[in-house]
Chains A and B, each alone.
Chain A
Amino acid sequence: MTITLDDIEAGLRRVIDPDDEVVVLHSGIWRFGHSVRPLPKDFVDQLLDRILAVVGPDRTLLFPAYNSADFPRTKSFDLVRDEPETGALTVAVLRRRCAERSRQPMNSYLVMGPDSQTYLDSPSTTAWGDDSVMGLLERAGARFVTLGEVWHESCSYYHRSEEICGSPYRYYKRFEGDLLEDGRVIGSCSETFFVKSLNVHCDDFYAGPELLLRERKLTVDAGDPRLILESARVDDIVKVTCEILEEDPYYFVQNREDVEAWVEDGMLEEIAALAPENQYAGNADIIRRKESIQELR
């Protein structure tokens, strides 16, 4: 079963609605590249050309350019040189310099199109909060497209719902460092994440919301059995995921007992042990809530 660039382009045209003004495309060439024939050396660039042709100049297009692993260690984020961990397509966008990169050191986006500045200027008080890129994508009713990648690997918007719902196994941690542009320091940058425990491994599995989205006919499938190519509006993803989390805040956690025990007995201690530069004021509410529960007992 081979796939061609024409198949992918046709699929993209099916999953992007004519009324969509903002598209955020997550991809995993890794998952389907082996079936592409012919597979030219510049396949990734050719694929990018096809995507740009389908999206067109009148829509705003974003690619996730996340790199969560390096910044806490290096304390520096280079807008040009730090390659995203989000796959070969995003790296190609970065190298072509056809998009601007937002300044969040761990959850940045490559953005192009008419409304780019809105996203580039997002205050992003927290990585998945109301004024973050994710929050803006939700408000804009942006079209999330997953090309090749399974939902639980590609759809990061579930985290937005975790933050909205105040998932009990997370707290805030701030990271800060230098902002660089092609090797030159141009300022500082920071990002505040709603993190899980460092001390107790949280075995999470982000499957489920896409099933409910499909059941409610809120997804669009390219209908090509050779390729995962599906879309949904970010606001629908966030809403459905919040519904799930309101019913069961630990829905995504596989080792619930361990994590619940840590939330009960270890979380406050872990927050208190944060280095000063990692502290974030938003944890005060979490601490107050937990202390009042303990007092009630």
Chain B
Amino acid sequence: MSENVLNEICRETFEVDSFTAKPQTKVREVENWNSFAHIQFMIAIEEAFGVEFSTEEVQEVETLGELGELINARGGSFEWN
């Protein structure tokens, strides 16, 4: 479920046709990544999972695995299938 949401947000934000999230995927290595798309992505994650990140957290997230942990640490619920 969480992964589906993450995949959908990645597809929409980075404007890619297909995307399969993996914990080791580096956010910066997602096709069409740029600094502004990264911010849009993190805001979309906040809205979807009902959490809030600090500016530093937004900058420091490197992998989708770390992002999942961060969502959980901020009171959201993220699980890998």
Residues of A participating in the B interface, judged by any CB pair closer than 8 Å: 28-35, 39, 41, 43-44, 87-88, 91
Cβ contacts under 8 Å, B34 to chain A:
88, 91
Q: Are B55 and A88 in contact (CB under 8 A)?
A: no
Residue of B nearest to A226 (CB): B55
Q: Are B55 and A32 in contact (CB under 8 A)?
A: yes
Cβ contacts under 8 Å, A32 to chain B:
55
13 contacts between A and B (CB under 8 A): A29-B36, A30-B35, A30-B59, A31-B55, A33-B35, A33-B39, A34-B39, A34-B43, A35-B55, A39-B43, A88-B34, A88-B35, A91-B34
B80 within 8 A of A: no
Q: Are A88 and B36 in contact (CB under 8 A)?
A: yes
Q: Given A34-B42, A39-B40, A39-B43, does the pair A29, B35 have CB atoms closer than 8 Å?
A: yes
Complex Cα spacing A255 to B14, Å = 39
Residues of B participating in the A interface, judged by any CB pair closer than 8 Å: 34-36, 38-40, 42-43, 53, 55, 58-59
Question: Lowest 6 A-B CB distances belong to which pairs?
Answer: A33-B39, A30-B35, A88-B36, A34-B58, A34-B55, A88-B35
Q: Given A34-B55, A34-B58, A91-B34, does the pair A29, B39 have CB atoms closer than 8 Å?
A: yes
Cβ contacts under 8 Å, A30 to chain B:
35-36, 38-39, 59
Cβ contacts under 8 Å, B35 to chain A:
28-30, 33, 87-88
A10 to chain B, nearest CB (A): 20
Residue of B nearest to A89 (CB): B36
Which applies to chain A's interface (DSSP): helix, strand, loop or mixed?
A: helix
A149 to chain B, nearest CB (A): 11
Cβ contacts under 8 Å, B36 to chain A:
29-30, 33, 43-44, 88
Complex Cα spacing A149 to B70, Å = 24
Residue of A nearest to B36 (CB): A88
Cβ contacts under 8 Å, A87 to chain B:
35
Complex Cα spacing A88 to B34, Å = 7
B54 to chain A, nearest CB (A): 8
Which of B36, B38, B58 has the most chain A CB atoms closer than 10 A to its own CB? B36
Q: Are B59 and A31 in contact (CB under 8 A)?
A: yes
B41 to chain A, nearest CB (A): 11
Residue of B nearest to A47 (CB): B36
B31 to chain A, nearest CB (A): 14
Which one of B38, B39, B55, B59 contacts A39 once the chains associate, using CB atoms below 8 Å? Answer: B39
Complex Cα spacing A102 to B68, Å = 43
Complex Cα spacing A31 to B55, Å = 7
Complex Cα spacing A32 to B59, Å = 10
Cβ contacts under 8 Å, A44 to chain B:
36
Which of A31, A43, A91 has the most chain B CB atoms closer than 10 A to its own CB? A31
Residue of B nearest to A28 (CB): B35
Which of A29, A30, A34 has the most chain B CB atoms closer than 10 A to its own CB? A34
Q: A39-B39, A88-B36, A91-B34 are in contact. List 18 more A-B contacts (CB 8 A).
A: A28-B35, A29-B35, A29-B36, A29-B39, A30-B36, A30-B38, A30-B59, A32-B55, A33-B39, A34-B42, A34-B53, A34-B58, A35-B55, A39-B40, A39-B43, A43-B36, A88-B34, A88-B35
Cβ contacts under 8 Å, B39 to chain A:
29-30, 33-34, 39
Q: Are A41 and B40 in contact (CB under 8 A)?
A: yes
